[in-house]
Amino acid sequence: MYTRAGNHAPRALINPPTHIEYKGTRFLIVDAPSNNNLPLYLQEFERWNVTDVVRCCEATYAKEPLIDKGIQVHDWVFGDGEAPPAAIVEVWLNLIEERFGKRDAEKNTEDHKPCIATHCVAGLGRAPVLVAIALIEEGMPPLDAVAYIRERRRGAINNKQLRYIETYKSRSKKQCIIC
């Protein structure tokens, strides 16, 4: 696309990131960047104050540009269409606790709230499952977590992953005793 002056208009991502926020936790679900479109993702990451990127699929881009921007990159790869293994769930929950567990009201102003971006190839399976686990840990019922994500990211979470989420048991101590 060109402007009248012949300059390129700003490009946008084909599949825009999906922002998920719940009880002070913030996530960005994206499809896999490439080295070619990574600058567009970096703009989005900066916009949402992304502190970490979790790659659930094989790397499709160099992580150095993210590291140069102060973004930590975590390679937690698991099978396409699968639920995450227990070891990945454990490191995921630890990351969430590190980023959101000690919510400092002064540090985490509206402009500086941390956000964790996660992606798989299309941002429809592995990445949304991790975010659903986070929502469940924050007290959202499993099926509500899936519906909440699907409202924002159409086609997210396949049937096998849905069954996993339905049976997922929260490890959080924040769960309501009455529930």
Answer yes or no: are the C-beta atoms of 136 and 168 closer than 8 Å: yes
Does 176 qualify as catalytic in the annotation?
no
Catalytic residue among 56, 57, 115, 120: 120
Amino acid at site 165: I
- Compute the C-alpha angle 142/121/69, nearest 5°: 95
Does 80 qualify as catalytic in the annotation?
yes
Measured CA to CA, the distance from residue 145 to residue 50 in angstroms comes to 21
- Strand pairing class (50-55; 72-75): parallel
Closest of 67, 139, 134 to residue 99, by C-alpha:
134
Measured CA to CA, the distance from residue 27 to residue 30 in angstroms comes to 10
Answer yes or no: are the C-beta atoms of 24 and 140 closer than 8 Å: no
Catalytic residues: 80, 120
